[in-house]
Amino acid sequence: MKVVGISGSPRAGGNTEILVAEALEGARSKGAEVEIITLAGKDIRGCVAHATCGKDGKCLIDDDMQPIYAKLLEADAIIVGTPIYFGSMTSQTKAFLDRTYLLSKMGKKLEGKVGGVIAVGGRAGHELTTSTIMDFMTLQGLVLPSYAFAHSNVRDLGAAKGDEKSMKAARALGERVAALAAKVR
């Protein structure tokens, strides 16, 4: 069983990376093989809705999303973490989510995988951010555990590490996601 975690922050070593890694530790404790993919420093452009999308099993945009498709296909579960930017997910996270359109056009390739969401912000917007990403997941056919999200209230670079509440919430999310993925398998 494999759980892949996506960190949608442009800040390498930021809170989202820390919390996604902690969620993956939770998943590992339930027997999962895990891998983190950070979007920081990656070139992932927005979907341009090519008329031929999905027809030859390949996205025509040649950027850093290409190797990620294979990792998503082999995953049993996907945890998406994002910082909150002006009340919602980062543009990096949105571009990543939109680019998975290819996988639905290839025949609902994400259907039946398990999903989980982490939203990190110093102030506000957690509910909208997680519910938007959970909507994305159900539209793509992922299945969600109860409490499919973890919220964290931290802002400064690396602060999540010292925030026990955030770390516990992320770890517990990873455990729930992996436990459901094991059942689904």
| Interface characters, 12-51, with ligand FMN (x: CB under 6 A) | --xxx-----------------------------------
Contact (Cβ atoms closer than 8 angstroms) between residue 101 and residue 69: no
To the nearest whole angstrom, how small is the minimum distance from the Cβ of residue 13 to ligand FMN? 8
| Interface characters, 131-170, with ligand FMN (x: CB under 6 A) | -----------------------xx-x-------------
* 177 backbone dihedrals φ, ψ, rounded to 5°: -65, -45
To the nearest whole angstrom, how small is the minimum distance from the Cβ of residue 62 to ligand FMN? 27
125 near ligand FMN, judged by CB under 6 A: yes
121 near ligand FMN, judged by CB under 6 A: yes
| Interface characters, 44-83, with ligand FMN (x: CB under 6 A) | ---------------------------------------x
96 near ligand FMN, judged by CB under 6 A: no
Task: Supply the Cα-derived Rg of the chain in whole angstroms.
Answer: 15
For the record, the structure tokens of 130 come out as: 């997680």
Which C-beta is closer to ligand FMN: that of 80 or that of 103?
80
- Note the residue count of the chain: 185
85 near ligand FMN, judged by CB under 6 A: yes
Measured from the Cβ of residue 66, the count of other Cβ atoms closer than 10 Å reads 13
122 near ligand FMN, judged by CB under 6 A: yes
Alpha-helical (H) ranges within 30-141 are 66-74, 91-99, 101-105, 126-139
Rounded Cα gap, residues 1 and 113, in angstroms: 11
To the nearest whole angstrom, how small is the minimum distance from the Cβ of residue 88 to ligand FMN? 8
For the record, the structure tokens of 67 come out as: 């190797």
Rounded Cα gap, residues 3 and 181, in angstroms: 9
To the nearest whole angstrom, how small is the minimum distance from the Cβ of residue 94 to ligand FMN? 14
Per-residue CA distances from 45 to 17, 23, 61, 78, 94 (Å): 20, 27, 8, 20, 10
Give the residues lining the site for ligand FMN (CB under 6 A): 9, 11, 14-16, 83-87, 120-125, 154-155, 157
